[in-house]
Structure 1
Amino acid sequence: MRESSTYIHKIATVGMLTALAMVMGFIETLIPINLGIPGMKLGLANLIVIIALYLFDIKTAIVVSFLRIVLIAMTFGNVSMMIYSVCGASLSLLCMVIASRFNGFSTIGVSIIGGIMHNVGQIICAAFVVRTNGVFTYLPVLLIAGVVSGMLIGIAAGLVIVRISTHK
């Protein structure tokens, strides 16, 4: 019976984190960012993914990230957005997992790496989709945006992780 209870708790936790990530993604759509680059966002949903990575495990972070992407694509019907999101999230998660295993990286450092690599993953995807290297001209602005948003999300994640950890 104990194993069943743990499994149910895990499913509920993943569901809650996925719902939070979706809400953060929706809130993000309400914040206009116009720097001349289509689809540029703050990465608020990554806050939840980082929390999952630090407070739970790699598998939970991966499931939450990809469930959010698929559910948002199904809800808002944008398959091309899903392709870009999967590419960005895959590279971002891989690099965040690696960075989180090194003691030299704080949540801020891990988040900055995630923000940068998400943008790199999406630009690489865009280069394949539109079949031109011209999209790489966006990279300098996207790298700066990844650092800034990654830093803000990393600070917030660090605060939330400490707060939740003290209440466990």
Structure 2
Amino acid sequence: MNNKALKITKVIKIAILSLGFLLNGLIFINPAFSQTIQSVANQLKSAQDLSLWFNKEFRYETEMPDRWQSAEETLRLKKGDCEDFAILSKELLGRKGIKGDIVVIKFQGVNQSHAIFIFKEGKYFSFISNKQLIQTNSPTLAGAIQEQFPDWEKITFATAKKEAVKVVLRNNHSGNTQLESDVASDIR
């Protein structure tokens, strides 16, 4: 490539980066310039792309008191906490045909919960936890939750508006059999 072509390439890259960023050769436009969730979803190729984009462009920030942001609000603010990333993940990946659920996990012995977006990817379940893509070795939802969160006490399937759709309590006498039977077919 000659000097003129190199300069043009550099100018183009600077212009692209001022509007968004490059990731694995793909151009991601800054949401401030692409006003809709759909335009962002169109740019994503996979859940891994979403996780990489979250880590590059978004900040994890807990709000007190806890407030569930809409997908659009998280996209605009470029910050949020676990449920905000779960909601935005469900919206963006759902538009790519990846169906899953927002799940709130309450842990044993502590007054703390964590929200994830869980979905089936091929034979196994994966989830977005905060900004990270976690791939499990489990073909069942119950196994995926048990693998990553063995100290769970209560699982709540929730809507983006913080409405409980289904609640599963841990049966301490028989491990997670109740979880297995209650939610094995719940991924929509």
The TM-score with structure 1 as length reference comes to 0.29
Q: Which has the higher helix share?
A: 1
